Every structure is written in C-alpha cells, then in structure tokens.
Amino acid sequence: MKKIVIAVDGYSSCGKSTLAKEIAKELKYAYIDSGAMYRAVTYFCIKNQIIIDSNINFDKLQSELKNIKITFNYNPQSKKNETYLNGENIEEQIRNIEVANNVSLISTIKFVREHLVNLQQEMGAKKGIVMDGRDIGTVVFPNAEVKLFMTAEPSVRAKRRYEELIAKGQQVSLEEIIANVESRDYMDTHRDESPLRKADDAITINNSNLSKNEQYVLALKIINEKIQKLNESRN
C-alpha cells in the first residue's frame, strides 16, 4: 500500500494538531506540526528582541533566519512529538499567550513563509506524513491525496483554549483568549501571504458539537475511504 500525504487545515484552537497526531499514530505516519514551526520562529524573535511590542525588525529576522533550526523529537515519557529550536526543547514556551499574540504577525512575512514551506515540502517528499496548519492543502501540498478543513464556533474554540492554558497553570482570562482567537482569525484570513482558506477539494469537519473521539472516527473514515479508492484505482 502506497503512502499518501494528509493535509489538515483550519482555524486556531480547532484541535487540528490533536487530530493530526492521532491520525498519524493510527496510520504509522510521520506527524509535522507546521504551526509549531511558526511559533518556534516567533519565540526566537521574542527571545532575541527581533519583535518588541508587535514591532518586527525585518532586516535582523531575515539575516537570522538561517540560524533557526527546527526539529521534532519524540518524547517517550509524554508520548508526544515535541518541538526543538536549535537543540532546545521549547514545546512549553511556544504555547504561551505572548507567542500566540505574535505568531500571526510572523506568519504573514513572505520570506519566513517561503523558508518554512521549503522545509515542510522537504519533510513530505517521501509521503507518509500528516501535516496540519493553515495553508497545507492550498500551498504546501496542493496535491495532497486527503485534505481536511477544521472549523468550530469562535466561542467554542476560545473556551477550549482557555481551559487548556488554565490546566497548564497559565494566568489568563477568557476574555483575553476570545480576543486572541478573533484577532488570529482575522489576520489568518486577511494576510497577503497564503491566507487561510479552504482548498476546493478539502472536506470540512465542523467540530463545534463533536467530541474528540467522534471527530477522530469521522476523519479516519474519510481517510480510509480515500485510501481504499486510491488502491482500487491502482489495481
């Protein structure tokens, strides 16, 4: 059975990463978190004062981009793939509200997107991957065999994100998270470079009223049906 590329796109806090990881585990595919790659660049910018008060030093970022190495390593204790920046585990750091408030700014920059898209395409050249993000099915892998587009009501997404951060011990308000979700939605859909949009051949999954398991079962059904059709066409 030949392996395929599965693209999972959608709005922030829709559970894209959770679903993509589960699908990858089930199919024994590699999982690539493209959102974590943009968050890693954002964290690098904050740490190195390339972005201050939402103002970006574009010249410094462009010159430093070659020094940003992003990798994913499996942690047997947490049983998760974790994000590394230049050899440092930054999985927790890239999930805080400061990074969340700035990542959409970084992701609008053309040279950043071009650099990361090249890296992502290299990762998926041999197929057998599941990648989630906002432009995977439209820009990174426009020929992906399966494209899913995740969505949910903004209020539902904000509540999920709030509960996740509170569980991690972060001090945030629900109002702050709602504002962040609405801001990211606007920036992601209105940016000049690779705006968030549903690919014409993507299948939409609205999980506002779905449990994680229901969402997983539905997505796996869609993927298995596609794989079966592909195998039948090749025989």
Provide DSSP, 74-103.
EETTTTEEEEEETTEE-TTGGGSHHHHHHH
pLDDT (0 to 100) of residue 129: 92
pLDDT class of 86 with cuts at 50, 70, 90: very high
- pTM for this one? 0.80
Q: Which token pair is 182?
A: 């609405």
Q: Which token pair is 93?
A: 């750091």
Q: What is the DSSP letter of 135?
A: S
Question: Virtual CA dihedral for 173, 175, 176, 181, nearest 10 degrees?
Answer: 130
Q: Is the pLDDT assigned to residue 189 strictly greater than 70? A: yes
Q: Is the pLDDT assigned to residue 156 strictly greater than 70? A: yes
The domain limits of the chain are 5-234
What residue type is 187 in one-letter code? Answer: M
Architecture of the domain made up of 5-234? 3-Layer(aba) Sandwich (3.40)
Q: Which token pair is 104?
A: 């959409």
- Compute CA distances 154 → 63, 159, 210, 234, whole Å: 37, 9, 15, 41
The alpha carbon of residue 211 and the mean position of all alpha carbons in its chain are separated, in whole angstroms, by 20
pLDDT (0 to 100) of residue 103: 93
